[in-house]
Amino acid sequence: MLIRFIEFENYDPRLNMAIDEAISIFVRKDELLPTFRFYGWNKRAITIGEFQNLEEINHDFCILHDIPVIRRPTGGKGILHNEDVTYSFSCRREERFRGNLFQAYEILSRIFAKAFYLTGIDVEIIREKRSFNRSSVCFARSSFGEICFKNIKIIGSAQKRWTDGFLQQGTIPLTVDRELLSKVFLCNSEDLNNIAGIKELFGEFNIEIFQENIKRVLKEEGFEVVVDCLQKKELVLAEKLLQKKQPA
């Protein structure tokens, strides 16, 4: 199975979400290969899940401090993007990914777990299918297929599924600003006790090395990787999607 891989680059927060949505549209139309994208954020921002209540966010504080709040196309809870690595994977429901949500999670989690291992980080994959923590903060909750290091969640992921394909998005925080988290999310202080960035837990973490390890694992798992860049049609559609979207 051919996988198109778009390497890490920083973008505007709202454009990031629109690009992922545009990619998923072209992939589901079978106009582009299944696409793995790595990216960062050129300013701090908050993304919230597709169905998350906006009242879980201190919106006035975010407006005052120029922190955009953006609704993701995928589910899950809120993430403060500051210094992190975010990924998306868009694919049709075919071949290795013809199964259900949990089966797709299983494949992608295994790829990330192996890449972390190659990077020197011994992680575990959460096997439970439910989380009983109702926090508004993504990284205060753990659910099926997500990855932990020293009992702390280090990737938060969520999916959006259609009849013809799916989009999975996930974030690896490198550092965590707990003070800012406590101000932007209406949450309990204990929700923040078990949240940490990978650099706090592990020390040195090189994005480029980790990205190369993801490619290596994809190949070991039987995928053929084609490194590419965003195409003009994806960026044009992303801009059109941005114009149509209402603020979160």
Name the 3-class secondary structure at 80.
strand
Which amino acid, residue 33? Answer: L
Q: What is the DSSP string of 178-203?
A: HHHHHHHB---GGGGTT---HHHHHS
**Residue 81 CB neighbour total at 10 angstroms:** 20
The answer to whether 154 touches 147, Cβ cutoff 8 Å, is yes
Distance, in Å, from the CA atom of 33 to the CA atom of 142, rounded to the nearest integer, reads: 30
Compute CA distances 184 → 47, 58, 80, 234, whole Å.
Answer: 11, 5, 8, 32
Kindly list the catalytic residues. 138
SS3 158: strand
Query: Do residues 172 and 8 make contact, with C-beta atoms less than 8 angstroms apart?
Result: no
Q: Looking at the chain, list the stretches that DSSP marks H as alpha helix, in order from N- to C-terminal side.
A: 13-28, 59-64, 101-119, 178-184, 198-202, 207-220, 232-244
* Cβ-based neighbour number of residue 198 at 10 Å: 25
